[in-house]
Structure 1
Amino acid sequence: MSSYEQRPSGCTSFEEELIDAMNNFANSTNAPAFDTVGMVHRTRRRRTGLIAGFAAALIVAGGGTALASITGASETSAEPAATATTAVDHNKATFLLGGLTKEPIAVDLTGMDLATAKGQFLKAQLKLGTVVKVTSPGCKPTSVVEVTPHSPKIVSKGDTVNVKLCAG
């Protein structure tokens, strides 16, 4: 019998040696060990670093102005200090916007007209509810004097906010 003829098992000697070698390899190799906890921590650290870097780049590039416009911050105040002490309660016209950052952002709508307040609601992705005019001393007509819910309650994206305007 030559080495190329079929053996009684149906395999050539080369095939038998190959099968034996593969079986030995499969039976002797240990399963790989993965440090899954370390991989998760490493991934989270990288993700946090990337987010922090991206946020810093946005702030440096001027992306922080969008956040300032949502909070109602103004660059300069042309009003004299005497008009700042009106009878309008700023807490009633301020709502806390949650879900954008770790801490809620206070948005003060005191003294804004309805169109400007609607713009703030669009930026914050809030719905405008009922608009009612009320009498309030020391306020500019058609300006916002109260929102519901107001601080310290937190509103999130998609919530409805009701507005009370000064009747004059």
Structure 2
Amino acid sequence: MTSPESRPPGCAGYAPFEEELVNAMNDFVNAAEAPDFDTAGIVRRARRKRATAIAGIATALIVAGGGTALASINSGSDTSKPAADSTGRDTTLLYTFDDGATLPIDMGGWDQESVRVQFLKMRVKGEYAKAATGTCKPGSVIGVSPHSPQTVDTGDTVKVTLCAG
């Protein structure tokens, strides 16, 4: 397209093609509707998605943590306990959560590594000793101190007695 200054003298305005092109572009610009964005709705949906994602993740973490704690509780079967506990030591630990709720955990028959992992989750220290009895599986828990009905809080030390065989 040529500029009006570069036209030969005597030509006023645009050539028919140039004029038609300019009119077509102006019609296009004036006729095209600008998109209408609902910015408040977009922000609201983004916040809702974010809140839902955070709630889902928090729920998954709580369920995973609670599931781990529940999995550590003996579910009523005596398959993990020693055949006979002639020592008279109690193996049930009563853990107190930060909100005051308590959870009994029967550690009878657990091995030292399982106890160590559970203590890490509960943020409790463990001291381990072995006692000789002939009625238990070597390396399994035959007693904890303090035991139920005494409670154990975060940071406490629990003495664990393992079967020496």
Q: TM-score range by the shorter chain?
A: 0.5 to 0.7
> TM-score, normalising length from structure 2?
0.54
Where does structure 2 lack aligned partners over 5 or more consecutive residues?
Answer: 1-54
Aligned to 1:133: 130
Identity, % of aligned pairs?
30
Which protein has the larger Cα radius of gyration, Structure 1 or Structure 2? Answer: 2
Aligned to 1:145: 142
Where does structure 1 lack aligned partners over 5 or more consecutive residues?
Answer: 1-53
| Distance change (3 Å), C-alpha of 1:68 and 1:100 | farther
How many angstroms does 1:58 deviate by?
4.9
SS at 2:133 equivalent = coil
CA RMSD of aligned residues (A): 3.3
SS at 2:129 equivalent = strand
Aligned to 2:62: 63
Query: Aligned pairs, how many?
Result: 109
Aligned to 1:21: none
What per-residue deviation string (whole Å, max 9, x for no partner) do you get for residues 74-116 of structure 1? Answer: 7x89x8x778683138971111111244431111211111111
Distance in 2 (CA, whole Å) between partners of 1:135 and 1:155 is 26
What per-residue deviation string (whole Å, max 9, x for no partner) do you get for residues 31-78 of structure 1? Answer: xxxxxxxxxxxxxxxxxxxxxxx6x9855x46323123234137x89x
Conserved? CA contact 2:126–2:158, under 8 Å: yes
Specify which of 136, 153, 156 is matched with residue 156 of structure 1. Answer: 153
Aligned to 2:92: 94
Aligned to 1:73: 73
Conserved? CA contact 1:132–1:165, under 8 Å: yes
